[in-house]
Amino acid sequence: MDLRVDFSGRGILYTEEEIAVVAEVMRHGKTLTQGEHMRAFEQGFADYLGAGQCFTAMNGVSALELSAQLCGFRPGDEVVVPSHTFTASAYPYLKKGAKLVWADIDPVTRVVSAETLEKVLTPRTRAIVVVHLYGYVADMPAIMDLARSRGILVIEDAAQSIGADVAGVKSGAWGDMAIFSFHSHKNMTTLGEGGMLVVRDPELAALVPMLRHNGHCAYPDPRPGGGRDYWIPAMGNVDLPERDGTFLMPNNYCLGEVECALGLKLLERIDRINAEKRERALRFIDALADFPELEFHRVDSTRHNYHLLAACMRNGRRDAFIRSMYHDKGVRCVVQYLPLNRYDFYRKLGLDRADCPNADAFFDGQISFPFQHSLSEAEFDIMLEATRETLASLRETGGGQESGAA
């Protein structure tokens, strides 16, 4: 078998103009970190989002860790996270002292809803992490109403949903905080790693530059001698405020100038990338309409950017499908997002209990197709044809049809 279409390819291909932006900073950048390109990317991203203050970070996880620190957890505080998500949505909050509580997903949208969240809220719930998984934006108007009525913080994990919106407001512009990822697989990537933290409260936002960079801050002005002795007592101060009896701990989570310059440039193209992925997803879904045993979440609007193309086979033939796609057709699909409560890591920590039947049932039939923007039309056609043939032959070998009716 030779592999013709692989799930783990890079997210996008760069244009010559984008490569030139990188080379330009390599040649002439005044500094290679925390300079004009960082500030320009953060401002450009805030303008794109239309809300909040934006801070670049090394990757999505470092942005999540910063958001967890800004929550200022007290002992016993709970954070609600969907059980059906990437592990990085959860462990940063655990590291910063919160107790994790798993929420179920909606069976159709595959993301949390106000209903699934409400079921697991307690008086100790401090924050909810809403993950716009696969690139589909959860029902933020209802979720924000719920959270506001209970005084709960909302953090959006928008790692997969850049540019997608609901009710005319982009994902990441709804919550108290939000994070984005520019990892190699994502719809927009800053050379493999990169992230963004969005903070709404100006007081919390003011802490981020210090928290992100070693606790560095300025001494109060003026320095001795009316500012003349700029070096006294030293170049800069190190400080971070105490909150609720605990000190915030510093990090170094800065993103380099080259990545920031590229990130700003990619904002010009991200809506087009998303639109092209959505168009392709709909083409794939519609071409398989006569195989209802493969269930997709079809959304013909900017509420979905189709970062990933996920399906569910509830007839017990998922493994047979993936096996045949790989061994007979050379198309490597994968199964994603083992419910977090089922991972060894979370089980060892006593986090094995979850009342998430929809997440469990969805996962047991889950299939993720190769869907990076960098897939060629030829690869896409091979994958579509392979899928049709595999589904047809599964029907012939029996059992493939009876659960087709939704």
Ligand X SMILES: *Cc1c(COP(=O)(O)O)cnc(C)c1O
Contact footprint for ligand X (CB under 6 A): 59-61, 85-86, 88-89, 131, 157, 159-160, 181, 183, 195
Which residue, 51 or 191, has its beta carbon nearer to ligand X?
191
Distances (CA, A) of 170 to 135, 175, 178, 236, 271: 12, 11, 11, 38, 12
Closest distance between ligand X and the C-beta of residue 29, in Å?
23
Q: Which residue is nearest to ligand X (CB)?
A: 60
Which residue, 157 or 293, has its beta carbon nearer to ligand X?
157
Closest distance between ligand X and the C-beta of residue 107, in Å?
19
Which residue, 120 or 131, has its beta carbon nearer to ligand X?
131
Which residue(s) pair with 252 in the sheet?
A: 213
Which residue, 89 or 390, has its beta carbon nearer to ligand X?
89
Beta strand 331-332 with 5-6 is: parallel
- Give residue 18's identity as a one-letter amino acid code: E
Closest distance between ligand X and the C-beta of residue 21, in Å?
21
CB within 8 A of 50, min separation 6: which ones? 169, 170, 173
The residue count for the chain = 406
User: How far is Cα 51 from Cα 46, in angstroms, rounded to an integer?
Assistant: 6
Closest distance between ligand X and the C-beta of residue 296, in Å?
19
Q: Is 134 exposed, middle or buried (0-12, 13-18, 19+ CB in 10 A)?
A: buried
Closest distance between ligand X and the C-beta of residue 263, in Å?
12
Q: Please spell the DSSP secondary structure of 320-362, one letter per residue.
A: HHHHHHHHTT-EE-B-----GGGSHHHHHTT------HHHHHH
Which residue, 186 or 329, has its beta carbon nearer to ligand X?
186
User: How far is Cα 185 from Cα 199, in angstroms, rounded to an integer?
Assistant: 24
Closest distance between ligand X and the C-beta of residue 89, in Å?
5
DSSP conformational letter for 256: B
Which residue, 291 or 363, has its beta carbon nearer to ligand X?
363
